[in-house]
Amino acid sequence: MAQEDDEEDLTFNVDEVQQIVRDNVELCLGGNAYSHSRTPQWITIITEKTLARLNKLNKPYKYIMRITITQKNGSGLHTAAAYYWDIATDGTCTVRWENKYMYCIVNIWALALQI
């Protein structure tokens, strides 16, 4: 029935999204060294590709995507987040990726549209 389809559509599939993000980050950053001038380009590529693929999933969600790329320098980095949302339908996905020269942290938040 149509209602069953809606219920399936309205859960956030973390694994699928993680896979999408990991593929895109790997594709773009691969074995590169941190470069302050090229990073904006990389970020643009990653975000646009990932958002395009998320949209193709065709789910009734609004997405927020945040990327942080840090050079490996021994400095500490901590992140915390707090949410006020509907835990049944909304979700978050964080992907941490690293290579020899840098760390890349991608946060994706999906908020359901109540249609």
Partner 1 sequence: MADENVVEEEAETPAATESESAITPTELDKPLAPPKYEVRPSLGEKFQSQNVREIIVTTMQEQLMGRKYRSDQAPRWTEEIANRVRQRVQDLDMKRYKILVQCIMIEMKGAGVKCAQRCMWDPETDDYVGDLFRNETIYCYTVAYGIYMY
List contacts with partner 1 (CB under 8 A).
Answer: 34, 36, 39-40, 43-44, 47-48, 51, 54-55, 62-86, 90, 107, 109, 111, 113-115
Which residue matches tokens 């490996």?
72
CB of 78 to partner 1, least distance (A): 4
Report the distance separating Cα 65 and Cα 43, nearest Å: 11
Nearer to partner 1, 47 or 99 (CB): 47
Nearer to partner 1, 8 or 66 (CB): 66
Element (H, E) at 51: helix 39-56
CB contact at 8 A, 19 and 28: no
CB of 48 to partner 1, least distance (A): 7
* Residue 78 phi, psi dihedral angles, 5° rounding: -130, 145
CB of 93 to partner 1, least distance (A): 13
